[in-house]
Structure 1
């Protein structure tokens, strides 16, 4: 996987965390930069660890499915991309009472949210075990992109609401489908 594909994958993986952090930021009363950085760090670390775990799981099964590895990667990324598009289209917009907003989210609420948004990175990690990829570089890229996007999402949450988060999730889904199609094309017709 080349540098551009790694960048696109990292961005695509960070969009669901971005969307969730916009919601988290919108739920807070005047989120400060410290809270945004804290949230970004929690999301980024969890999002960096899950593709490593998925890659290890996929690597254990690689020798059994080497003949179909590109189809597996394409299918996983395609289904995941479609799920992200559907989620972005189906997400309902919630209106909060601004006076009832907390000033900070608990660590466990953020960690559970980060884990829920990183399930896709776990799945991508499984798919990446079947292709030639530097998994550490990819995991660091995903974690860094997620940290930046989640931090930004918290700060933008109150101003922009959930609309931009939905759009980012849909865009991320489209990118995942594109990456899966690229992997499939490279294996079926090597250049």
Structure 2
């Protein structure tokens, strides 16, 4: 494996880590954490492969609009997380009985949104004629590991931070959305 492939994998996994960290302030069962990591890995790897194939067909269409789609979706989800945290009273439930978890659909949605960069990279790899499996598999593995790391780090935070950390997490997603505009 070359340094170029490792660099692509690490850089593209940063969004998966950030999203997992942002979402990790709510409870996650071991099964849901695995689902999130697997979903992130699949989305990153598949987006890279799809981008690779689209690079041959519609390169300008994907490259011109991917950042606007990512911006809109990430800012929307981040704002929704902030709104939920602000409107959730800490008296409503204790940590042990907090029923607020992220739905599987939200996990799939976030995994898909954070993989849009990989779609663009896949287009570039397709145009450059790079071997797609050599890139998409390490990118997927890095996203899997990064998602677990993000969830684990958020879980280690003291529960007293509660909604404040969820607001910070939503803010991270909003910042990621604005970052997409500079790509």
- How high is the TM-score relative to the length of structure 2? 0.64
2:55 is aligned with 1:58: yes
Asked if the contact 1:36–1:155 (Cα under 8 Å) also holds between the matched residues in 2, the reply is: no
- Measure how far apart 1:40 and its partner are: 0.4
The normalised TM-score by structure 1 is: 0.62
SS in 2 for 1:133: coil
Unaligned runs of 5+ in 2: 158-164
- Displacement after TM superposition at 1:128 (Å): 1.0
* Partner residue in 2 for 1:73: none
| Cα distance in 2 for residues equivalent to 1:59 and 1:125 | 10
Report deviation, 1:61.
Answer: 5.5
Aligned positions, number: 145
Where does residue 118 of structure 2 map in the other structure? 121
Residue 46 of structure 1: aligned partner: 43
**Residue number in structure 2 paired with 1:9:** 8
Establish whether residue 159 from structure 1 lines up as the match of residue 156 from structure 2: yes
CA RMSD of aligned residues (A): 3.4
Find 1:145's aligned residue among 134, 139, 142. 142
Task: Give the conservation status (yes or no) of the 8 Å contact 1:14–1:142.
Answer: yes
